[in-house]
Structure 1
Amino acid sequence: MARKNQKKLNQRKLPTGLSRWVYVLFFMVMAILLLYNGGSEKVITWKRFEQQMLLSGDVSRVEVINERKVQVYIKSESLDKVEYNDAAKNFMGKKLLNGPHYYFNIGSVEVFHQDMETAQEGKPKADHLTVIYKEETEWLPNILGWLIPFGLIILFSVFLLRGASSGMKNMGRSVFNFGQIAKKEIDTDAVRKTTFDDVAGLEEAKEEIYELVKFLKAPQKYSKLGAKIPKGILLVGPPGTGKTLLAKAVAGEAGVPFFSLSGSEFVEMFVGVGAARMRDLFEKAKAKAPCIIFIDEIDTVGRNRGKAGAFQANDERENTLNQLLAELDGFDSDTGVIVLAATNRGDVLDPALLRPGRFDRHIHLELPGLKERAAIFAVHMMPLKLNKEVDNELLAAQTPGFSGADIANICNEAALIAARREKEEVESVDFMDAIDRVIGGLEKRSKIITPAEKERIAFHEAGHVTASWFLEHAYPVLKVSIIPRGKSLGAAWYLPEERQIITRSEFFDAICGALGGRVSESIFFDEVSSNAVDDLEKVTRQAYAMVTIYGLSDKIRNISYYDSTGQSENALHKPYSEKTAEKIDQEVQEIVDEAYENTRKLLSDHKEQLEQLARQLIKKEILYKEDIEKILGKRTFKPPVPDDIVV
């Protein structure tokens, strides 16, 4: 063990190069401070100088330095007295023989001279102490004045050369390789751990991208027929749909080097750095071809260079984009480098980036459907210790609109909840609570709510449930609660239908269901409250979408002001006139008023059932589908999920 420790000590490197001079400079400064003038004299007062030293005859001489400081020299034979134990000493701890031993400051030479004459009045003139006046240059402060800044400059230069500043240290660069991209290559063995088996719910996308894997495994099969593999594949889809996971699976299946970067790593405040890093990235990739470059959030550097974004455009970002375009469409077409890119905003990308020859294929990833969610649940449930009653298809039916990342979060939350309850297995109720927490937030039973507020909340939620229960195209209710959760005071859980097309009747019934809470308050209370702010926001958004996007209004027919290219986001004017804007507002108001009256008539017809449901909700705080059916009866409309899934 001792030999190993000695070997480690021998392997330690001493400071070399410029850093060695920094240490030398430090020790020189310390030596000057220690040896300067041998030591440091003790400051005293005029009273002590006069009564203890001057009148006792222990002072050998007095020197006035620069007309402001008086240095006192004690006779060598008097230094042994106890009174002078605090005299100046050298760095070895011994008293100085030559001095100076003490000092004090004066305001003016004239006053000091007069005080000296007064203090020595009783002595003969021959015994009066002679005062010596000197002008001295304080060389140590002057030297340190230029030595310290010079040392700081050297120290700062060392840090720059070593890339030791906090920003560069995290990026792994120094000042001389600032234009190089940080090495983000993932080891091939680590990549192979992620395969297409780990990607669930993206069957169509896997089929489309599997051809890329086959090319990387056997490129000669395609090249001998004259075929060229796509240079770039763009993955577009909402957050959490598995774009990054799919890119890793491609690299894992192909078994090739995989460079993973983010678009923000190319954007810097220094001109030309982004383009330099882009060149460096492709040079490194070509050296290891065939390989895959994955650029996440490519919209950071690939935004449209049109006039609409000129007010917020960054020239550095445009330079980086131009370099990326040149690399994707260079003279060397057989580099074996394939670029995968992912973005949530495919509508804002520059058209030059999307054309064939650069990003040849665009794969659109959507939120998973019912069967896809069941497959994703099955993948994320594999590491969990589950109860036999847990059904991934049932959970998939109750999580419409959830992405793969949301489902992964639900599975993890369910395991945490089960562990918190000290269970041996994760049960269905744990998954239900996890879904509730992800959708609505954490329960806040400690929130203080008055009985009057609780009653109003109960009638509000009962209005939503009753309206949705008797509307044909509204979603059926699974559970309703008046326990505060997150920012909401109450909530209802619905089972949305997997719809690709939404009709006007379905839009209208959705608005009626959202107005059920406000209408219920207006029927059972003297005045309405602010409890419906979220509902009114949803109603307004849907009504304007019917009129301005989908062309589902009566007065403004078959016209859509929606811009799928995203160019209208930065526009300074609306695509319609002020007169048309007034018609839009009027049409939206008429749709909402019609939905309000329709909901009021519906709830008035079922007023007794609504009140009974609200009273039961006040009593139990949480009602499930079975409890609602006992009060409102069986829902006669067709269920939105397949018959083989029991809800």
Structure 2
Amino acid sequence: MSENKNPKFKVSPWLIYGLILGVFLLINVFGNGFDFSNPKPTTLSKFYEFLESNQVDKVVFSNTKAQVFLKKDALGNKEHKNAKNNILGDLNEKGPHYYFEIGNTELFQKELIEAKKKGLINDYAKEPEGIWGDVLSLLLPFLLLGGLWIFMMRRMSGGSGGGGGGQIFSIGKSKAKLFDEKNDIKVTFENVAGLEGAKEEIQEIVEFLKTPEKYTSIGGKIPKGALLVGPPGTGKTLLAKAVAGEAKVPFFSLSGSDFVEMFVGVGASRVRDLFKQAKEKAPAIIFIDEIDAVGRARGKNNMSGSNDERENTLNQLLTEMDGFGTNTNVIVLAATNRADVLDKALMRAGRFDRQIYVDLPDIRERKEIFEVHLKPIKKSEELDTEFLAKQTPGFSGADIANVCNEAALIAARKDKKAVDKQDFLDAVDRIVGGLEKKNKIVTPEEKRAIAIHEAGHATVSWMLEHAAPLVKVTIVPRGQSLGAAWYLPEERLIVRPEQMLDEMCATMGGRAAEKVIFNKISTGALSDLEKVTKQARAMVTIYGLNEKLGNITYYDSSGQSEYNFSKPYSEETAKVIDTEISLLIEDQYKRAIQLLEDNKDKLIQLADILIEKEVIFKDDLETIFGNRPHEKIIEITTE
């Protein structure tokens, strides 16, 4: 027995508007009732001929037009054969048979009176003036303006839902998407690799909602909220999706920008409606992604006017989270990568009791993330996830997902059946450096200059203890760079001055090599100069690593200093800062030149190999320089 599925017919409001307008038009056209006659046009002189020959039975006229009804015996004449059929093609005996335009109505009426007295016509009548045309002409502009206004309001209020302009009345409603156990949420904590500390705290909130008596029995209270803070791509939203998949309670998800609207008071209204819905379904979880869209610090000097819509939305959010009308059993999760700009009132305990920092994954966590993203990919058996984790320092979870996808695309492009180690290395190069441009025109002289520059980086970094170990060097243009060198930086929790100085010296190795070999410098070191300048400025003004300035920092973790028009130091201090930054960079530049002078023959030999092969690896440097001093081995320990 088959089910009879009859889809519901949805009536569009615009169809209703069209029908109403059509009815008005029909009434205006057929003001005296519906008529299927098909009168033929004629002239006033012809009408008088019909009248004199006693063929006219009746005349109905208005101020502008007259309709002629012929007698039955006159319909047999050949001259009236075209006037016999109506609009349906049937014999038209009733009429009207002809119509014509009249000029002077009073004169025409007098002619009809005389004709009736003479017996030339049986009857005549004047049509009453219809009022529907005037009514329609009066109402039509208002109907069109009303329809246009409803259309504009529906478009501005975000969508086609709610027929008949219903969006106008629901513009203050929350746009949160509700997830519950009936929704198809596949993400769980098993899909979230790494982030052990963050998962533990988030999982505790889920368990509190599942079994609240476990905590309340000893006097514990449900936390009001948790703020997920961290760089982009580290898995903040993924954690929230896992909560939606794990929790057996309603989960409301929306973005901070969903509160923002062009109408005054809409943001605060949506906050009220959101918490009202959550309270009705309590216990429940609200997740606000990118909360900095509405949670920015309120300024003392309001530049946008006294009634700032964003601040009103924030005030309502603060009140709902912890005010007199506090909603119980409603937990608020929020995510942002700009915690420094959030309002202090939003960050305090009682609103967001917990601030969970979601950092970039370390080498062990990267291995776990690779294992998660490699599950749907057909990979070769000898592929080592530990090697991949070592090759991707500083990568976020989103970056690793992108590496896996790029590797699969590269393997498919090469018609491979499985993704191997080289595909992943190519994917890392593609993401970090950009696409290779082998067809770029480079002269032999420029090619040698690029090779010397890159060989200088490789040589200096090989000789320094704290510089990052080299992986490979290429002079094939990639992205916006003419050449590139890949390093495997050591993952440190703290950085010492000698480590930063070694990194600066290695960065200046490219320009120093040009100076040593050609006794000339070029514009190719722009990115190197930008990097070392930032490092030197950080040493002097942020980390307090300069002896002349001492233990002082001008860094503002709250992020408010970027809105100030004045510097936090005097003009004399500014001169000292500029001098110290310049001294730091020039000292490392001279140090790099001295290292390259001592190893000039090996530098030229390395550049020649680079020109020949275009890409060299760590093995080539070992052949020329021998084993690298201070070599460190990275091992992944698992508990």
TM-score normalised by length of structure 2? 0.81
Residue 149 of structure 1 deviates from its aligned partner by 2.1
Q: Give the corresponding residue for 2:559.
A: 566
- Alignment equivalent of 1:427, drawn from 402, 416, 420: 420
Residue 190 of structure 1 deviates from its aligned partner by 4.2
Residue 224 of structure 1 deviates from its aligned partner by 2.6
Cα distance in 2, alignment partners of residues 13 and 180 from structure 1: 23
Q: Give the corresponding residue for 1:623.
A: 616
Residue 153 of structure 1 deviates from its aligned partner by 2.5
Give the aligned residue type for 1:151: L
- 1:352-408: CA deviation from partner (whole Å, max 9, x where unpaired): 111111111111111111111111111111111111111111111111111011011
- Alignment equivalent of 2:492, drawn from 482, 494, 499: 499
- Alignment equivalent of 1:168, drawn from 132, 148, 159: 159
Residue 627 of structure 1 deviates from its aligned partner by 1.8
Unaligned runs of 5+ in 2: 50-64, 71-77, 103-128
- Alignment equivalent of 2:582, drawn from 572, 586, 589: 589
Q: Superposition pairs for residues 400-549 of structure 1, below 5 Å?
A: 400-549=393-542
Q: Give the corresponding residue for 2:55.
A: none
1:225 equivalenced with 2:218 (yes/no): yes
Equivalent pair of 1:160/1:174 in contact (CA under 8 Å): no
1:254 equivalenced with 2:254 (yes/no): no
Q: Give the corresponding residue for 1:155.
A: 147
Residue 179 of structure 1 deviates from its aligned partner by 0.5
- Alignment equivalent of 1:24, drawn from 5, 20, 34: 20
Q: Give the corresponding residue for 1:178.
A: 171
Give the aligned residue type for 1:494: Y
Give the aligned residue type for 1:418: A
Residue 530 of structure 1 deviates from its aligned partner by 1.3
Equivalent pair of 1:241/1:365 in contact (CA under 8 Å): yes
Structure 1 residues 13, 311: closer, same or farther in 2, change over 3 A?
closer
Give the aligned residue type for 1:150: F
RMSD: 3.9
- Alignment equivalent of 1:320, drawn from 306, 313, 323: 313
Residue 332 of structure 1 deviates from its aligned partner by 5.8
Equivalent pair of 2:251/2:285 in contact (CA under 8 Å): yes
- Alignment equivalent of 1:605, drawn from 574, 594, 598: 598
Secondary structure, counterpart of 2:631 in structure 1 = coil
Equivalent pair of 1:497/1:640 in contact (CA under 8 Å): no
Q: Give the corresponding residue for 2:208.
A: 215
Structure 1 residues 98, 635: closer, same or farther in 2, change over 3 A?
same
Cα distance in 1, alignment partners of residues 495 and 162 from structure 2: 49
- Alignment equivalent of 1:200, drawn from 177, 180, 193: 193
Structure 1 residues 145, 578: closer, same or farther in 2, change over 3 A?
farther
Q: Give the corresponding residue for 2:111.
A: none
Q: Which moved more, 1:241-250 or 1:496-505?
A: 241-250
Secondary structure, counterpart of 2:495 in structure 1 = coil
Q: How many residues align?
A: 580
Cα distance in 1, alignment partners of residues 99 and 245 from structure 2: 81
Cα distance in 1, alignment partners of residues 394 and 300 from structure 2: 35
1:264 equivalenced with 2:257 (yes/no): yes
Q: Give the corresponding residue for 2:373.
A: 380
Equivalent pair of 1:498/1:640 in contact (CA under 8 Å): no
Give the aligned residue type for 2:499: E
Cα distance in 2, alignment partners of residues 154 and 334 from structure 1: 41
Structure 1 residues 24, 302: closer, same or farther in 2, change over 3 A?
closer
Residue 487 of structure 1 deviates from its aligned partner by 1.2
- 1:57-95: CA deviation from partner (whole Å, max 9, x where unpaired): 99999xxxxxxxxx9xxxx9xxx99xxx9xxx998999x
Structure 1 residues 412, 60: closer, same or farther in 2, change over 3 A?
farther
Cα distance in 1, alignment partners of residues 101 and 40 from structure 2: 5
Q: Superposition pairs for residues 9-158 of structure 1, below 5 Å?
A: 12=9, 20=16, 22-29=18-25, 146-156=138-148
1:349 equivalenced with 2:342 (yes/no): yes
Equivalent pair of 2:180/2:248 in contact (CA under 8 Å): no
Percent sequence identity over matched residues? Answer: 54
- Alignment equivalent of 1:358, drawn from 347, 351, 354: 351
Q: Give the corresponding residue for 2:54.
A: none
Secondary structure, counterpart of 2:297 in structure 1 = coil
Give the aligned residue type for 1:26: G
Equivalent pair of 2:38/2:97 in contact (CA under 8 Å): no
Cα distance in 2, alignment partners of residues 619 and 486 from structure 1: 21
Equivalent pair of 2:39/2:99 in contact (CA under 8 Å): no
Unaligned runs of 5+ in 1: 43-52, 62-70, 103-136
Cα distance in 2, alignment partners of residues 313 and 449 from structure 1: 59
Structure 1 residues 150, 632: closer, same or farther in 2, change over 3 A?
same
Equivalent pair of 2:473/2:615 in contact (CA under 8 Å): yes
Q: Which moved more, 1:554-563 or 1:219-228?
A: 219-228
Residue 618 of structure 1 deviates from its aligned partner by 1.1
Equivalent pair of 1:171/1:182 in contact (CA under 8 Å): no
Residue 221 of structure 1 deviates from its aligned partner by 2.0
Structure 1 residues 164, 346: closer, same or farther in 2, change over 3 A?
closer
Equivalent pair of 1:19/1:158 in contact (CA under 8 Å): no
Secondary structure, counterpart of 2:546 in structure 1 = coil
Q: Give the corresponding residue for 1:238.
A: 231
Structure 1 residues 441, 204: closer, same or farther in 2, change over 3 A?
same
Cα distance in 2, alignment partners of residues 530 and 387 from structure 1: 43
Structure 1 residues 309, 32: closer, same or farther in 2, change over 3 A?
closer
Secondary structure, counterpart of 2:295 in structure 1 = coil
Give the aligned residue type for 2:489: P
Residue 554 of structure 1 deviates from its aligned partner by 2.7
Residue 155 of structure 1 deviates from its aligned partner by 2.6
Secondary structure, counterpart of 2:485 in structure 1 = strand
Give the aligned residue type for 1:464: H
Residue 517 of structure 1 deviates from its aligned partner by 1.1
Cα distance in 2, alignment partners of residues 181 and 390 from structure 1: 48
